[in-house]
Structure 1
């Protein structure tokens, strides 16, 4: 049985639009841009500023340790001199349920919340941040739990006992309800404002910032810290930040109706059956382990990681098998990104551009590098950037169209750079920050150079497209096993084009002890 389900893209888009009252007549008549916010934090908009980056965090404590909390404790040393926190998605595992926000988000991040000292009294849909906490949804923030499994998970059924006491999958009665919990936690949830005057008063109170694209949401730490939409943009120190929801443009290309395509389909189906059998073996292996025994608790953590990896690969296979010409792609969001990037290049006050999204287009993490979703996101972003390059022309003066791309999804910290890809995503630095609390993953055995093949099925990679310069995640085996959890501090430096000083911080768990340290900083730009 598949533990989690991923709603169709069309349903995600429709539901999220309804929740923010997308393009409601009252919003249109006020000339409000629902994809923009202004940081109203009483700080000067200086060209030199700093921010923190985390991702793939929300799992809660393990039986013997709490990596998410270790990361937060290190982050607190930088809170006062950073302007905001970027979160690259997967805020709450396993299925984005409102049931798990208190344990998996509110409690560990309590110092970033107003009244965090009384965090047990904070409702997930009433959070107010004292420092801008700018999130994007990850795949787990959209996941749902099949009804029958939700029921099984709450009754005294043997499987529930096994999964709850041996492999803690962080599931309860229900999932995210197609991202509803994420919306109520972080977005400006306008759907309930149905009565006369409610929406008008809300808009006139919170959407008062004036920009060149119209009025927009005023983000006020300590007072009102909602995001206007699932994708949005803001500006800080002359840098335009673009937050994307990659969950709605990650659908794989349809399998072609050819002999090769049919053979590939049979291969995927066979692999899916093998993964299901492997999953059951892992569950059976957990029966004899005692979560209260430190050594066996580590083994349970490893089994949990393997089980999650199987589910991820199975979901990717299912996406490939289900994809057809009717599968929805969020072209509205992609066209928005194209237009806003062009506008950004045509705006004299803007000196740099940063994109952050959940799914990495380039990655060497063992379970993500060859997933169909990885290729899909890479292809869609290339199409956007190629179109921007055509329009921008000589304005870029040989610079990459984007100065930095931040992602999550892969449970590691990785720094890569593209080479000449033949497209407008060439020579861009990409940083994956997805190792801030959840189970970590290893780097692939194939090495740090990413090759790209031409055509649908080609076992002979033909060209180099990217190189990985740094990787921190799960390393070693047995007594030498290391788990390197991580977050970033990024200092934006003055100048045009800008430079970014990237400082990785590591909370390493080895031999059941913790060691906190920073890695050598590097400069991009």
Structure 2
């Protein structure tokens, strides 16, 4: 049973059916959207003061090399912590299999860097458009939303979860699973806060419950096994989620401070892809990007090298790699052997946009090859958007993985993506989407 918490705005926890959110249920099953849609708020309930003074301290500590990655609790279920779509829906595997057989595909949402410190407007632009996707035909409706990290700014504080997470997604009628971004685990200097405390409370609960941070809204906490894990939606999708820790740059998944548990996990997960004979879409996700085209945040070359080493060792490479952190949209193609791997940044889910750094004030033209010392594979910047907030709509079939980019500026009812890419699963090559 859930704990009892005070409510905000006079709301009480709604109870609704796990899959279609109609009818009543107990908390032995998850709850997602409110039973009735409500208007977007125009202001935060908890005022978010400026974090500039704290960041001056952080910048100085960075200059003095006094900030290191932070250790984190081990996930449940090592060596490969696993979470299934059936579990987060509170549904039986047989029920899901019947749905997938009828649809012959799975659709889901992806974006990151959503928590705004300035007010709800920019995040609501994206969440409202995502919610509108549930007006599609049944086959096209998303089954879940995978968050690429930085759920709450600036230090993942519990007091901001209501305004930056629960309220913006109050009408989102599906599960939200997440990886942790650097801001979700950061600890402000001279505080006694514990890294990831609120993230673990709201995304890594051991059972379905309504937390205090929900402020009386209906959504139950997620039941992820920890900050790195495999998320499975068989037979179409398997997402390997890594935690790239708390530094602004670079992302770190293994070093002397935090150990190599994620490398051991990644090797176990990739080996199981082979032992299971998994033929669906394999997606790798981490908050810090492997590549960027020159925005404020840089790439994480050591992290990329560690991942590449394990992919090479196991002989298993992802069909796509998804990241956030850069506060804009960027799509790259990595030419690896005979395959073409999309590396996509979608970090414009609601937090302040970051323009790409341009030489002499000129616009950055695409396509453009990145110049990377010591990197054997060619990497091409194919497209980007540093003007709009937006999200990804991902479609996986038995043979293809299609990733679409939808900017919020197109309007809630616009269904045509501004950018897209399709990977043929059997060959790892980019192709035209053929559907089901």
Q: TM-score, normalised by structure 2?
A: 0.67
1:143 corresponds to 2:143: no
In the alignment, what sits opposite 1:66? 121
Distance in 1 between residues matched to 2:255 and 2:272, nearest whole Å: 31
1:520–1:484 distance in 2 versus 1, CA, 3 Å: same
Distance in 1 between residues matched to 2:331 and 2:259, nearest whole Å: 27
In the alignment, what sits opposite 2:327? 411
Distance in 2 between residues matched to 1:515 and 1:234, nearest whole Å: 28
1:490 corresponds to 2:400: no
Distance in 2 between residues matched to 1:98 and 1:244, nearest whole Å: 22
SS of 1:452 mapped into structure 2: coil
> Alpha-carbon deviations, 1:37-92, whole Å to 9, x = none?
22223452325110001100011444xx7110110100001246111100000000
In the alignment, what sits opposite 2:372? 452
SS of 1:466 mapped into structure 2: strand
1:136–1:176 distance in 2 versus 1, CA, 3 Å: farther
Distance in 2 between residues matched to 1:441 and 1:224, nearest whole Å: 30
In the alignment, what sits opposite 2:422? 523
| Greater share of residues in helix | 1
Q: Which has the larger radius of gyration?
A: 1
1:520–1:387 distance in 2 versus 1, CA, 3 Å: closer
In the alignment, what sits opposite 1:12? 71
In the alignment, what sits opposite 2:20? none
Distance in 2 between residues matched to 1:225 and 1:33, nearest whole Å: 21
Pairwise CA RMSD: 3.4
1:60–1:79 distance in 2 versus 1, CA, 3 Å: farther
In the alignment, what sits opposite 2:155? 95
Alpha-carbon shift at residue 522 of structure 1 (Å): 3.6
In the alignment, what sits opposite 2:226? 229
In the alignment, what sits opposite 1:376? 302
> Alpha-carbon deviations, 1:109-144, whole Å to 9, x = none?
1113xxxxxxxxxxxxxxxxx522110000001111
In the alignment, what sits opposite 2:81? 35
In the alignment, what sits opposite 1:442? 355
SS of 2:165 mapped into structure 1: helix
Verify the 8 A CA contact 2:205 2:221 in the aligned structure 1.
no
1:76–1:365 distance in 2 versus 1, CA, 3 Å: farther
In the alignment, what sits opposite 1:104? 164
Alpha-carbon shift at residue 471 of structure 1 (Å): 0.1
Distance in 2 between residues matched to 1:437 and 1:245, nearest whole Å: 21
Aligned counterparts, 1:120-519, within 5 A: 131-147=174-190, 177-188=194-205, 225-238=222-235, 239-247=237-245, 312=248, 327-369=256-298, 371=299, 374-389=300-315, 401-420=317-336, 427-445=340-358, 448-454=368-374, 465-473=378-386, 483-495=387-399, 499-508=400-409, 517=414, 518-519=417-418
SS of 1:384 mapped into structure 2: helix
The alignment of Structure 1 onto Structure 2 pairs a total of residues equal to 329
Verify the 8 A CA contact 1:12 1:179 in the aligned structure 2.
no
1:77 corresponds to 2:132: yes
> Alpha-carbon deviations, 1:215-261, whole Å to 9, x = none?
xxxxxx9777311111111321322221111228x8xxxxxxxxxxx
Alpha-carbon shift at residue 335 of structure 1 (Å): 1.6
Verify the 8 A CA contact 1:37 1:233 in the aligned structure 2.
yes
Alpha-carbon shift at residue 502 of structure 1 (Å): 2.2
Distance in 1 between residues matched to 2:115 and 2:334, nearest whole Å: 30
User: Equivalent of 1:50, from 76, 100, 107?
Assistant: 107
